[in-house]
């Protein structure tokens, strides 16, 4: 899969969720319809692993993380940006989500969790904040950010 095909894959999802509020109901919907056993989850997970191997995804490294913005927010993705991060038992930089954040958790190690969540979807509402943390192994995390909005802050203690 190339970057253009990946964007098309993501655009199918963002078309469905673009008008929905970022809340627990959205997380439940995503996990019910596009959970670990779904074709979409498996397609995204495979595409991320392939994109990393090919070097067009997670092409930056720093602070023990591999990361990168794969898709800038645009009308093609219903104004969502897409970032993918490869994390191994680490906390990333603390940040705010002015418009919210939708995360797809894809463990590479059985049992790895992101912010205490297992494989699947996690949704943070507008004006939420966290230091994204993977525990119990290694995971890829895909971030959908409305309008690409994110504000990095100083590290939380």
What does residue 136 show for φ and ψ, rounded to 5 degrees? 65, 30
Residue 85 CA to residue 34 CA, distance in Å, equals 20
Residue 34 CA to residue 32 CA, distance in Å, equals 6
Taking only the tens place, the pLDDT of each residue in 31-65 is 999 999 999 999 999 999 999 999 999 999 998 89
CATH of the domain spanning 3-152: 2.60.120.10
Packing angle of the helix pair 3-17, 24-34 (nearest 10 deg): 130
**pTM of whole model > 0.75?**
yes
What band does 154 get if pLDDT is binned at 50, 70 and 90? low
Count of residues for the chain? 157
| CA neighbor of 95 nearest in space, from 148, 151, 149, 142 | 151
Residue 39: C-alpha distances to residues 9, 43, 91, 117, 125 (Å): 11, 6, 29, 20, 26
- In the block, which residue shows the tokens 């469905």? 16
Taking only the tens place, the pLDDT of each residue in 107-153 is 999 999 999 999 999 999 999 999 999 999 999 999 999 999 999 98
Structure-block tokens of residue 93: 């930089």
């Amino acid at each position: 899969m190339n970057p253009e095909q990946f964007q098309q894959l993501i655009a199918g999802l963002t078309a469905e969720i673009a008008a929905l509020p970022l809340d627990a109901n959205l997380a439940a919907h995503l996990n019910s319809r596009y959970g670990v056993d779904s074709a979409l989850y498996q397609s995204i997970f495979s595409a991320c692993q392939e994109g990393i191997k090919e070097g067009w995804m997670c092409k930056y490294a720093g602070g023990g993380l591999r990361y990168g913005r794969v898709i800038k927010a645009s009308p093609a993705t219903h104004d969502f940006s897409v970032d993918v991060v490869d994390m191994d038992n680490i906390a990333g930089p603390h940040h705010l989500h002015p418009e919210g954040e939708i995360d797809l958790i894809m463990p590479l190690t059985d049992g790895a969790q992101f912010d205490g969540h297992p494989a699947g979807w996690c949704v943070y509402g507008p004006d939420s904040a966290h230091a994204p943390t993977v525990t119990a192994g290694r995971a890829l995390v895909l971030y959908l950010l409305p309008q690409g909005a994110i504000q990095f802050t100083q590290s939380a203690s």
